[in-house]
Amino acid sequence: MDRTYPDGRKIHLSLLANPSHLECVNPVVIGKARAKQFYCGDTEEDVRNVVPILLHGDAAFAGQGVVYETMQMAGVDDFNVGGTIHVIVNNQIGYTTNPINARSTPYATDLGKAFNAPIFHCNGDDPIAVSRALETAVEWYVMSSERECTLFLRCALMLQLLTMIFSVLYIGEMSGELTW
């Protein structure tokens, strides 16, 4: 999807599908982002112009090893995409499993702590809170050199899809507005 803003800025948004194996698309997204950066010229600006965004479920983010593996590679030369924005939608259920039966730590986002990623928790049913959290996350992403960051949206199942779509569009818009 391409969006052009009144001031002429253009943002291209592409979505990769995840098959039923939870989280397995993560390294594919990072690989695609890395390839785009590389073939655009691989300058600092090229790296900044491509922003990978990963959308996670609460149980999958906490439970799937590939999430850790992907984050672990984030600082390694040749795999470094200059940071990833992780959006976790927490409906407090993993299929039929309650959080207390699904993980050992209080928050689904706790893995982010291992990488010093800033973690923003907000109520996904409150659109203003979501937009503030996204704004803060994108500002962090643009300003910081260590740009791995995690957003934690707590919301009901019905709102999940809408929240995810909104998050991605908003991140695209925000990142274009800020100076790269």
Ligand X SMILES: Cc1ncc(C[n+]2csc(CCOP(=O)(O)OP(=O)(O)O)c2C)c(N)n1
Residues at the contact surface with ligand X, assessed by CB under 6 A: 20-22, 57-60, 64, 91, 93-95
Which residue type occupies 82? Answer: G
Please report whether residue 124 would count as binding Mg ion according to CB under 5 A: no
Beta-carbon neighbour count of residue 130 at 10 Å?
23
| Alpha-carbon gap, residue 15 to 23, rounded angstroms | 14
Question: What residues between 81 and 100 interact with Mg ion by CB under 5 A?
Answer: 91, 93
CB of 62 to ligand X, least distance (A): 8
User: Computed from CA positions of residues 139, 141, 146, 152, in that sequence, does the dihedral angle turn out positive or negative?
Assistant: positive
Note whether 100 and 65 are within 8 A (CB).
no
Write down the least CB distance from residue 106 to Mg ion, Å: 16
Instruction: Between 22 and 85, name the residue whose CB sits nearer to ligand X.
Output: 22
Which pair of structure tokens corresponds to residue 49? 């112009």
Report the partner that residue 95 touches, choosing among Mg ion, ligand X, none (CB closer than 5 to 8 A by kind): ligand X
Nearer to ligand X, 39 or 95 (CB): 95
